[in-house]
Structure 1
Amino acid sequence: MSTQINNSIDNSNGYHNRNQSFFRYKVTSVAAKAVKNNKKVKSVVIGANVKSISNNAFYKCPALKTVKIKTTKLTKKTASKKAFKAVNKKMVIKVPKKVKKTYAKIFKGLKVK
């Protein structure tokens, strides 16, 4: 199972109707316990608009092996390795090249590529 935290979401549910308004929302954070105890999720893609990842967001996700982070907006104040407590020890975090050094410090102790 794969999970993608997109750049935006809408309330259209795939349906379009001229008489009804639909709104688009930018996803800017991953909440605490967002995917807690999910034993099926194997990979996650975090979109470019995300500015924060809360502690324990992916707590106890033993099958999680790959996290691709597209955003370059994370800082030590808005993310930490605590977001990935009790996950698969072989999990790899893939990040944009220009922030690899910074993200390696933020997620110290985890495999950042």
Structure 2
Amino acid sequence: MTQIDRDTDALVGDWLTINETAQALGVSPNRIKQLINDHKLLGVRRSGVWSIPAVFIADGEIVKGLSGTLTVLADCGFTEDEALRWLFTADDTLPGAPIDALIANRGTEVRRRAQALAL
């Protein structure tokens, strides 16, 4: 895991700590760490503290399609910081950022674009 850069930090906006994420999902902090290790959730260090983008959690669950998208991006060789930048950077073909499409339940489109990055 890497220390996040300022540009990516600005793209993401609101963040949750591991404890806040655990509380939002109703699981233990250790479970959040395992989800991060398994590429089911993305966490990075910000000022020495593990942080997860708040938008990744909705209605007490991880946004549908996020885990699969993170796996595809990891398989493409993306670092955590690169994956965050990709998820939060606007894509005119979606339209909006990939995370917006995931939230709108358009995960198949997002994963297709992520898979195309490997080609």
Shorter-chain TM-score category? under 0.3
**Structure number with higher strand proportion:** 1
- Report 1 or 2 for greater relative contact order, CA contacts < 8 Å, sequence distance ≥ 6: 2
Bigger Rg, which one: 1
Q: TM-score w.r.t. structure 1 length?
A: 0.22
Structure in which a larger fraction of residues adopt helix: 2
Normalising by structure 2, we get a TM-score of 0.22
